[in-house]
Structure 1
């Protein structure tokens, strides 16, 4: 199903031409996204990153691009309609991340996290009502799982409580690091049922009585992405707003299994963006009467960066092909997230290094990628947690502490 056109979107950062797996229609949609990012987003990124604000003026035009299930790719609704392929979704994330990790995280909060919460956690009747609104962004939501005292140990430590009260549920607790919460319509909150001790899911109106949101300040990474602390104090949620297919943490884990690959694509795109920024710089910057790119040590670092990006892209493409066939295993997505994050971390460091002193300035782009990589390295499972998931699959023994 390769594309018919010869002009490539990704050039040197896709050294083995993985984009040949895309159809012509998929590449046209991605090309429009590229134009939007180059012309409207990139001129704003350094300023908004430094200010720690999100460029809200980009939200409407980004939604209008119709990237989640574009008709050009899927066909019109009705007979002949086929969902967009995983490889398209992956390259959409890659395209966003190679421009800016906050933009990729912002879009994926809706297109990945919240969409998965509804697709997996909702009943068929709920999906029929909510999913079309998720796809067109008329219902904006966020995935609210992490808590102030529970991140990696959330499976057993989740402390937010839910208590049935007639036709409603009463929620109490707190969530932390929830990206996009300040502008969402609903919060997909996961809480422990006091009656049976099992985790349940709820769509909570952001403006409901008892919901308090506070922007997290002082971040040194993903500064454009607006993360929030959420406090829930006797928040009343009607039973129809409970995610009816979420009845234990096992159901939440099924969502995480599906979503972790998105973060691996973000890590890969971030590495590619840093590599491309460094390559541009060293081919233009002169020292000792020659461009930096003509020096042996710089070329060695460029080769290592390209090797990292190529390896990461190969991992996520293969993982996505497996998932398109219905193969979802915790250890597969954990391996991809762990390894792409490691490769990204080295790549952004090498990019900052070859740019020299200017590498700490936002004008050269690499500083933004370098800082943002630290958040990506940790979210959706730290290196150690993902390693233990893989180790458990390899040995048959769980090394998680209890």
Structure 2
């Protein structure tokens, strides 16, 4: 459903109110981008995002409700999405030579576009383009990056970020219990991994798992690329989810898994190095939370401008308009926040408290926005027909992953006061 519709301005009900509908928009993001953050994109970037929009509207939207209800991922969309060449579009395919990284603002809007269609699609894509790519960009040596990064960009090496454990989520820094033991062999050093990881999205179709484990020799966290089909690796699909139902999350068990030294991420030598990855990745989740709000807002707006009650369009009622205004305010505030954060990161400014603030606040507003959308659609808001129910449910997973509200609040509080309130 297009975002740039002028029909959203309903008659105010007052005979003296001036009727001034918004003009038609030619931009990709119309009313949900109220302050025109899209203007920061280049024409080429907009064209790439336009290709993505066309694909999502044509191929993805018609099947999402069915796959969500079944709890299955639409795997037939994966290769066409990869073929769109979105991560680092080649020269002539839109943006720049592959040697020059895509701008952060383009990457953010790419996530936004995916999330305003579906949170699972956004999570699936960013598992590769955000989480796994960051693991390689930050954790791999220069030689490893030269070998692996081109394969990451074209998806010929698919990977997932495997950090969370069954008993450790928010306390993973101190609670990480998966172990790595180094052994010398005739063919070179190898590492033996034992433990478990949980909630790892996309693991079942990955080539490698970026696993973080504690070195038994020095107690420090190290990173490894583990072949998904290696001996000792067992994956189990997590069932019974009520959020992100399309995303396939796995419980991974590692039993004496042998990994060569060449597959260790050579720049990961403590949890401090993992934290640097999280600092860079948390902004992606804030963009997802913002996109979910836009999608829920658009779905609700379309509904109230098309449905009549008491002989009038729903959108003509004061209480409906008040909720629409609050939702738009939330989307606008969130988009302004993530755009500014992205601009700061483009300058090389990466601070824990900055990404924590963006993740915390956009997710807080997201929760309110999807709840208001559910209210506006009434009883139909609990069905998949209007898309609102899908956004409403999926928002709960995004609210929790990549740092809960409370954990991010404590990161910000530590920066503000200079005192850590984290439990020892």
TM-score when normalising by structure 1: 0.97
Instruction: Tell me the CA shift for residue 83 of structure 1.
Output: 1.5
Preserved contact between residue 410 and residue 421 of structure 2 (Cα < 8 Å): yes
Q: Say yes or no: does 1:307 pair with 2:326.
A: no
2:127 is aligned to: 109
**Secondary structure, aligned partner of 2:258:** strand
Q: 2:137 pairs with 103, 115, 119, which one?
A: 119
Q: 1:142 pairs with 160, 174, 184, which one?
A: 160
**Where has structure 1 moved over 2 Å in runs of 4 or more?**
72-77
1:282 is aligned to: 304
Q: Say yes or no: does 1:248 pair with 2:270.
A: yes
Q: Say yes or no: does 1:369 pair with 2:388.
A: no
Q: Say yes or no: does 1:400 pair with 2:422.
A: yes
Instruction: Tell me the CA shift for residue 75 of structure 1.
Output: 2.2
2:71 is aligned to: 52
2-structure distance, mates of 1:348, 1:394: 30
**Secondary structure, aligned partner of 1:11:** coil
2:314 is aligned to: 292
2-structure distance, mates of 1:154, 1:60: 33
Q: 1:65 pairs with 65, 81, 84, which one?
A: 84
2-structure distance, mates of 1:83, 1:224: 30
CA RMSD of aligned residues (A): 0.7
**Secondary structure, aligned partner of 2:234:** strand
Aligned positions of 1:251-400 closer than 5 A:
251-400=273-422
Q: Deviations over 1:335-375 (max 9, x none)?
A: 00000000100000000000000000000110000000000
Q: 2:171 pairs with 128, 150, 153, which one?
A: 153
Instruction: Name stretches of at least 5 consecutive residues in structure 2 with no aligned partner.
Output: 1-24
Q: Deviations over 1:157-196 (max 9, x none)?
A: 0000000011100000000000000000000000000000
Q: 1:94 pairs with 100, 112, 115, which one?
A: 112
1-structure distance, mates of 2:97, 2:136: 22
Preserved contact between residue 141 and residue 184 of structure 1 (Cα < 8 Å): yes
1-structure distance, mates of 2:296, 2:56: 16
Name whichever structure is richer in helix by fraction: 1
2:220 is aligned to: 198
Aligned length: 394
TM-score when normalising by structure 2: 0.92
Instruction: Name stretches of at least 5 consecutive residues in structure 1 with no aligned partner.
Output: 1-5
2:4 is aligned to: none
Q: 2:60 pairs with 41, 60, 66, which one?
A: 41
Preserved contact between residue 215 and residue 226 of structure 1 (Cα < 8 Å): yes
Instruction: Tell me the CA shift for residue 73 of structure 1.
Output: 4.3
**Secondary structure, aligned partner of 1:13:** coil
Answer with 1 or 2: which has the greater Rg. 2
Preserved contact between residue 221 and residue 372 of structure 1 (Cα < 8 Å): yes
Aligned positions of 1:3-14 closer than 5 A:
7-14=26-33
